[in-house]
A and B are shown apart, each in its own frame.
Chain A
Amino acid sequence: MAYLTILLDGTAYGMILFIISVGLTVTMGLMRVVNLAHGAFAMIGGYIAATLMQRDVPFFIAAILAALLVGIIGAVAELTLYRPLYRRGDLAQALMTFGLTFVVIAALTSLFGSNVKPIAVPAFLAGLTNLGFTDYPTYRLFLIAIGAAMAIALWLIIDRTLYGARLRAAVDNPRMARAVGMDVNWLFTGTFAAGCALAGLGGVLGADMLPIEPFYALRYLVIFLVVVAVGGIGNFKGSFVAAMAIGIVDTVGKFLIPGTSAYIVYVLVIVLLLWRPHGLLPAKSAA
C-alpha cells in the first residue's frame, strides 16, 4: 500500500503546484508577459501569513489576508511595472521581472533574515488520519481536497461566467476582444491581481512542502514555469493536468529510483517540449 501513500503525496504536491501556477499560466497566456517574478508573489504571501500568525492570527484568516494583500500588491505591480512592458519583447519582460525577483529577495532577507519562516498548520489538521490501509497526514488530505475544490471553482468561473468568457476571448485574441468593446486593461489588472492572490495563497498552503525562505522565489520558479509550459501557456485545464503529472512523477520518481529523482522530471519535460513545443494542450483549446 506504499504506492497509494506515494500517490497521495504526489497529488498533494501537484495541487500546490496547480494553485501557484494557475495564476502564472493566465499572466503568460493572457498578457503574454514572461513573468519570472511569480515565485516572488507566492513567497510574499508566505511571509505575510507567517508574520500575521506570529501575532496570533489564526491560520485560515492569515492565509486569506495574505492572498488579498498579495492580490493588491499584484494589482499595483501590474499598473506600474508590467503594463509598460506589454509591447516589449520576451527578453525585456524576462529581465525586468527577474530584477524584480532580486529586489523582493533582498528586501525580504533584510526584513526577516535568511532562515526558513515556519508556518504551523492548525491543530486539527496537524495529526494523522486513518485511511484504513495507513495513517496519512491530515494536512495533505486537506490540501488535496482544497486543491480539487479550487480547480472546480476556477473551472466554473472560467467556463460558466461572463468574466470567464471575456477572459477566454482575450486569451484567444486580445485585438478582437478590444475591437468588440471589452475593457481589456481592467480585465488584465483584475486577472493579474487574482493570479497573484492565488500564488500567495499557494505559497501559504504549500509552506509545508515548499518551505518559505528568501530564495524560494528562484528555487521553485523553474518548476512553476515548467508546469505552465507543459500544460500549454494560457491553458487552465492543461496546467491542472501538468501540475498533477509533475507532482506525481516527481514523487514517484524519488521513491522508485532515488538516484535519478531530481532530474527525471526535467528529462521528461525536455522530451515533452521537444515533442510538443506548445505543451500538452495548446492554448487555443483552452477550457
Chain B
Amino acid sequence: MTARPALSGPALAQLRVGPGRFGWLWHALPWGLAIGTYFFAGAYLTLGTAALEMILFTLSIDLCLGYAGIVTFGQAAFFGVGAYAAGLLSIHLTPDPLLGLLFGTGIAAIVGLVTGMLILHTEGVTLMMLTLAIASMLSAFALQASSLTGGDDGLQGIHISPLFGVFPFDLWGNTAYLYALGVLFLWFAAAWRIVRSPFGRSLDGIRQSPRRMRAIGTPVWWRLVAIYTLSAAMAGTAGVLKAQTNQFVGLDSLDLLVSGTALVMLILGGTRRLYGAFVGAAFYVVVQDIAAEFDPFRWMFVIGGLLVIIVMFLEGGLMGLADWARDGAARLWTRPAPK
C-alpha cells in the first residue's frame, strides 16, 4: 500500500493550517499568544489557566462530536470524574501532580470505555438522552455520596506537591499556567495526529454515513468506542487540571452547564478544526469576564444569543467567518491578470 494521499508529501504539508507553502506557520499564532499570555497577563493569569482547561475540554468534545458525529450532552461526566479522581488521589494517597494526571485521565478513560460500549449501539436522540442520563446520574451520585465527595461543600483539602519535585504551585499561578499549557500541547499534538490518521478519516466517514462505512467493512462500533474513550480521557485530563490548579472540586464540575458551555465554545469557534476550540474558549472566557462585570447574568444572554445566531446564520463558527474574510481578501489581492 503506497497510496495514502492523506499522509503523503513533505512532512510540513501535514502541519498545514492555512493556504500556501507556509501554511504551517499559522500554528505559531495560537501557541505564541498562549506563551505571550504567560508574560503579559499579570493578575489575569489564573483566568488564562481556566481558559486553557476549557480549551482542552472543548477539544475533547470536538473529537467525538465534531469528527465522529457523536452528539453528546454528557461530556461533563468525564470532566467531573477526572477532577474527583485526581482530588481523591491527592487527599488519600499521593500529592504528586503527574500521578494525579495519569490516574484521573485513566479513570475517566475507563468510565468512557464502559459507558461508550453500553450506549454507542444507539443513535440520534436516544444516544443524546443516554449521555444526558449518565451525566445526571453521576452528578446525583456525587451529591449523595458526601462522605466520598464532600457533597454540596465540594472536595476540600487537596494538596498538590511541586511539579517534578521542583516547581511549586504558587499563589500567582505561574506553574499552573505552564503546566496546563504543556498538557494541552501534548493532547493537541495527539489529536492533530489522530484526526489525520486513517482512523481519523474513518471517523469522518462514519459521521457522514455509518451505514456505508459498515458496508465497506469498517468496524463502526469499535471505532466509535475508541474515539469516545479517547475523548473521555481528554475531558478527564481537563478535569484533573481544574482540580489541581484550583485545589478544589465542586459539584458544578459534573453539571449539565459545563457540558453546555463547552458545546457553546466549540460551536462559537467552529467544529472539526481543533483550533476552533481555542478561538471559542478564548472568546467565551473574555466575553464572560467583560459581561459579568456589568451583570452576572448578562453573559448568559450574550452567549445564548450568539449561539442562536451562529446556528441560524453562521454554520462554520468564528473560524468559518475568518475563512470567509481571508478568502475575500485573497480574491482582492490576486486580481485576475488583464487580458
State A266–B65 Cα separation when bound (angstroms).
23
Q: Please name the residue on chain B nearest to A103 by beta carbon.
A: B304
Q: Please name the residue on chain A nearest to B259 by beta carbon.
A: A98
Q: Please name the residue on chain A nearest to B256 by beta carbon.
A: A218
Question: What are the residues of chain A within 8 A of B128 when measuring CB–CB?
Answer: 34, 90, 94
B136 x A266 contact (CB < 8 A): yes
A interface SS class: helix
Question: What are the residues of chain B within 8 A of A84 when measuring CB–CB?
Answer: 312
Task: Identify B65's interface contact among A81, A91, A218, CB under 8 A.
Answer: A91
A105: interface (CB < 8 Å): yes
State A90–B124 Cα separation when bound (angstroms).
7
Question: What are the residues of chain B within 8 A of A91 when measuring CB–CB?
Answer: 65, 71
Task: Identify B311's interface contact among A99, A101, A110, A270, CB under 8 A.
Answer: A99
| A-contact 0/1 string along B310-326, CB 8 Å cutoff | 01100100000000000
Q: Please name the residue on chain A nearest to B118 by beta carbon.
A: A274
Question: Shortest beta-carbon distance, A243 to chain B, in Å?
Answer: 15
A-B pair count, CB < 8 Å, reads 135
B311 x A92 contact (CB < 8 A): yes
B163: interface (CB < 8 Å): no
State A101–B71 Cα separation when bound (angstroms).
18
State A28–B119 Cα separation when bound (angstroms).
21
State A270–B143 Cα separation when bound (angstroms).
19
| A-contact 0/1 string along B70-93, CB 8 Å cutoff | 010100000000000000000000
| A-contact 0/1 string along B101-131, CB 8 Å cutoff | 0000000000000000011011011101110
A263: interface (CB < 8 Å): yes
List the interface of chain A (C-beta within 8 A of B). Answer: 28, 34, 81, 84-85, 88, 90-92, 94-96, 98-107, 109-110, 114, 214, 218, 221-222, 225-226, 229, 233, 259-263, 266-267, 269-270, 273-274, 277-278
List the interface of chain B (C-beta within 8 A of A). Answer: 65, 71, 73, 118-119, 121-122, 124-126, 128-130, 132-134, 136-138, 140-141, 143-144, 256-257, 260, 263-264, 267, 295, 297-301, 303-308, 311-312, 315
